[in-house]
Structure 1
C-alpha cells in the first residue's frame, strides 16, 4: 500500500517538472502567446502623405421653385360659362382656359361699333361742308366766321371719330377678355372655380396657376462667414478658381439628379436674421422629375487646392483639447504622434493644411496596438478608389 502511494507521488512530481520546463521554453521563444517579444516592432498599415490638386466642394440645402409661374386671374367680371382645360395637364401659351359670359360685353362692342359709324358719317358731312365754305369764302359768298365754324366742326368730327375708334377698341378688348387664356406654356394646377361661379376683374384669388417646369430653380443659402473665408482663400492664393459654375443635385431619397445645373447668381445682400446669402442655380427638367417645393442638397465647387493633402478619416483622432492628431512612423521606426490642422472632409478623407509633409508615413491600420515611442513595422496599404468629390 505504501509502495503505491510513493509511486503516485513520484508521477505527479514528474508531470509538474515537465510542465514548468515547457512553459519556460515557450517564454524563451517569444513571450506569452508565442508572438513577438516585448521589444519587437508591431506590424501596422500606413499611407504615404503626398500633395495633389484637390477640388473643394460645399454642400448646401435648398428648395426647388418653378422657372416661370403665372397666376391666372380674370380681367373682366361675369359668370363663368365653361372650364376649357384638364386639371394637372399641359397648356400652351394663348390656350383658352375659361369662358366668361360675353353677352353684356358683346352688346357694348356693338354699341361702340354703331357710335363709330355715326361719328364717321358726321365727319364726312362736316368735311364736305368745310370744303364748300372754303371755296365760297374766297369769293366772299359766305362770311369768314361761317367758314371758320365749318372748318372747326370738321376737325371736331374727325376727333370724335378717333374717340369712337378708341371706345370700339376698348369694347373689343373687354369682349376678348371674356375668354381667359394661359399667359405661358406649362403644367396647370387645380381650378379654384367651377362653371356658374361669379368672378370679378383682377380678383385676389387666382382661377388657376400655370407653372413652366421645363427648367427648375434651386434656391440655396450660404453663410456670409463661409463666403468671406472662401474669398480670403482665393485672394491669398491658397485656392485656385475652379473655372466651373456647375452644380450637382442630390434628391430627397439620396439619389443624384443625372443632369448638372449651373449657378446663376449670388444675392447682393445678407439676410440680417440668418446671416446668410442667397444663391440660385438652374437645372434642366425634361422629364419633370423635379417639382416645385422639393427639399434638395446641392454640391457646389469652391475652388482647387493645388497642393492639397488628403489622409483617411480613420487615421485622425482628437486629443482632450479637440486638436486633430495622427500617428506617423518616425525616423527611428517608432510611432510618433503628430498634431495636424484639417479644414474639411473630401469624400472619406480629411484635407490637411499643416502638420504633415510629403513622404510622411501615416498609420491607418493597427492604431489600437501601438503607443507613442513603440517600434512599428510599416506596410503601405493600397488606397481605395477615391470617393466622388
Structure 2
C-alpha cells in the first residue's frame, strides 16, 4: 500500500512546530551539555603549634613496700592481734608465739651471767693478792701467773654469758611478731594453736604499703630509642622537670591523681624486647590495689612546630599511603603525599607533606581532583557538606 501524501498545509505546520521547539531549547539535540558549576570545598588553614606528645602503655600496679611476715623461732601461735584487711602500723603486735621456753632460756642465761661475773670478782681478788705476795717471794711466779690466767678465763666467761643473754633475749622477742612496715595487712594463713617453725617458706601474712603505689609499664626498646633520638636532635623538647603520668583504669575511668615517672630499667627483656618503666602515684583512698591492670599515659615531650589536621581530611591512595588535597593560591586543587606520625584525638600529627598556611580540604573531597579549579569556604568541626554548599550559594546570590 502506498502512504497517502501529507497535505501541504499540514506539512508546513509540522515544520513550524519543530522550529519552535528547537528555538525554545536553545541548542539542537546532541549538542554539548551546559557547563557544570565550580565545586565548593570546605578548607582549614594549616597552622604550626606546640603539641604535647603522649604515649599509652599497658601496665600493672605494685605496692610501694611489701613485707612477708614469717616466724624466726619455733612454737605454737598463742594469739593473733589484728583484723585481716585492716591497716597496721610498724611495730604493732601481730602474733604471739608461746614464750614459755624462750623466757626460761632467757632467765637461765641471765643466771649464768651473774655466776660468771661472781667468778670474775673472786679471780680478780686472788690475782691482786698474789701480785703482792710474789713481790716478797711468798708465792712462786708460777702461782701468780696461774691466778692472772684464771682471771682472764673468768672475764671471757662473762663475755660469753653476756652474749648468751643477748641471744636468749632476741629469741624471746622473736616470740612476738611485730609489723615490719606500715600498710594494709592481708589474710592470715594460721590461727591460734597452729605450730610454726623458724624461717618457714609459707608466710603467716603479708603487709603492703599502698600509698603511694607503683605502676610498672613496658615500652619497646625501639620506641625508647626513637624517643631518645627525637629529644637529642631537637624534634622534641622535654616538658617540665619530671615526666608526668596519667592512668586509665580497667573500667575506662581516668584516675584522678597524677603520677611521676621514677626510672626506666637498665636491662632489655630478652624475650619481649621491652624496657620496664616505673611511675609512682599518690593513692590516698586506696582506689589502686596491687595487681590491677591499667594503661599509663606518659608525657614524651613537646613538638614546638607540630601540624595537627582533622583525620577526615586524610585519605589513602592505592598503596595505602596517606594523601590529602590542598587548594593553592590560584584556587587549584593539589594532591599531597603525607607522612603522619600518630593520631591525637580526632586529628593526625603530620610530619611531612604540609606547611604553614596551606589550605587543606576537609569537606567535599569526593568532588575534588588534582588540577581542578574550585571555590573554598572556611570549615569548622560542626560544618557539613550541605552547610558548606548553602554558604557558597548565599555568597553567590549576594554577589548577583
1:123 aligns with: 120
Within the candidate set 144, 147, 165, 1:147 is matched to 144
Whether the aligned pair in 1 keeps the contact of 2:76 and 2:196 (CA below 8 Å) is: yes
Is the aligned partner of 1:206 residue 2:213?
no
Local SS of the residue matching 1:169? helix
Is the aligned partner of 1:229 residue 2:226?
yes
Whether the aligned pair in 2 keeps the contact of 1:252 and 1:296 (CA below 8 Å) is: yes
TM-score, normalisation: structure 2: 0.85
CA distance in 1, matches of 2:25, 2:45: 41
Matches within 5 A, 1:277-296: 277-296=275-294
1:49 aligns with: 46
Is the aligned partner of 1:347 residue 2:338?
no
Matches within 5 A, 1:210-221: 210-221=207-218
What is the CA distance between 1:38 and its match in structure 2? Answer: 4.8
What is the CA distance between 1:42 and its match in structure 2? Answer: 2.1
Whether the aligned pair in 1 keeps the contact of 2:43 and 2:359 (CA below 8 Å) is: yes
Local SS of the residue matching 2:181? coil
Whether the aligned pair in 1 keeps the contact of 2:183 and 2:208 (CA below 8 Å) is: yes
Matches within 5 A, 1:46-125: 46-125=43-122
RMSD, aligned CA: 2.2
Q: Which moved more, 1:257-266 or 1:39-48?
A: 39-48
Local SS of the residue matching 1:259? coil
Local SS of the residue matching 2:266? strand
Whether the aligned pair in 1 keeps the contact of 2:243 and 2:300 (CA below 8 Å) is: no
What is the CA distance between 1:320 and its match in structure 2? Answer: 1.5
2:354 aligns with: 356
Whether the aligned pair in 2 keeps the contact of 1:47 and 1:383 (CA below 8 Å) is: no
Whether the aligned pair in 2 keeps the contact of 1:40 and 1:375 (CA below 8 Å) is: no
Is the aligned partner of 1:156 residue 2:153?
yes
Whether the aligned pair in 2 keeps the contact of 1:187 and 1:210 (CA below 8 Å) is: yes
CA distance in 2, matches of 1:327, 1:208: 66
1:367 aligns with: 365
Q: Which moved more, 1:60-69 or 1:330-339?
A: 330-339
1:326 aligns with: 324
Whether the aligned pair in 2 keeps the contact of 1:123 and 1:154 (CA below 8 Å) is: yes
1:338 aligns with: 336
CA distance in 2, matches of 1:360, 1:41: 21
- Change in Cα spacing, 1:261 to 1:24, as seen in structure 2 (3 Å) is farther
- Change in Cα spacing, 1:90 to 1:24, as seen in structure 2 (3 Å) is farther
Q: Which runs of 5+ in 1 are unaligned?
A: 1-12, 26-30, 385-389
Local SS of the residue matching 1:269? coil
Deviation string, structure 1 residues 321-363 (Cα, Å, up to 9, x no partner) = 1111011113432332211111112222111111111111111
Is the aligned partner of 1:250 residue 2:248?
yes
Local SS of the residue matching 2:224? helix
Q: Which runs of 5+ in 2 are unaligned?
A: 1-13, 27-31, 383-400
What is the CA distance between 1:376 and its match in structure 2? Answer: 2.7
What is the CA distance between 1:24 and its match in structure 2? Answer: 5.5
Whether the aligned pair in 2 keeps the contact of 1:214 and 1:286 (CA below 8 Å) is: yes
CA distance in 1, matches of 2:159, 2:208: 40
Local SS of the residue matching 1:218? strand
CA distance in 1, matches of 2:337, 2:175: 76
What is the CA distance between 1:191 and its match in structure 2? Answer: 0.2
CA distance in 2, matches of 1:85, 1:98: 8
Deviation string, structure 1 residues 174-226 (Cα, Å, up to 9, x no partner) = 01111111100000000001111110000000000000011111101111111
What is the CA distance between 1:381 and its match in structure 2? Answer: 2.2
CA distance in 2, matches of 1:241, 1:383: 31
TM-score, normalisation: structure 1: 0.88
Local SS of the residue matching 1:190? coil
What is the CA distance between 1:84 and its match in structure 2? Answer: 0.8
1:167 aligns with: 164
Whether the aligned pair in 1 keeps the contact of 2:189 and 2:204 (CA below 8 Å) is: yes
CA distance in 1, matches of 2:143, 2:94: 58
What is the CA distance between 1:136 and its match in structure 2? Answer: 1.1
CA distance in 2, matches of 1:130, 1:122: 12
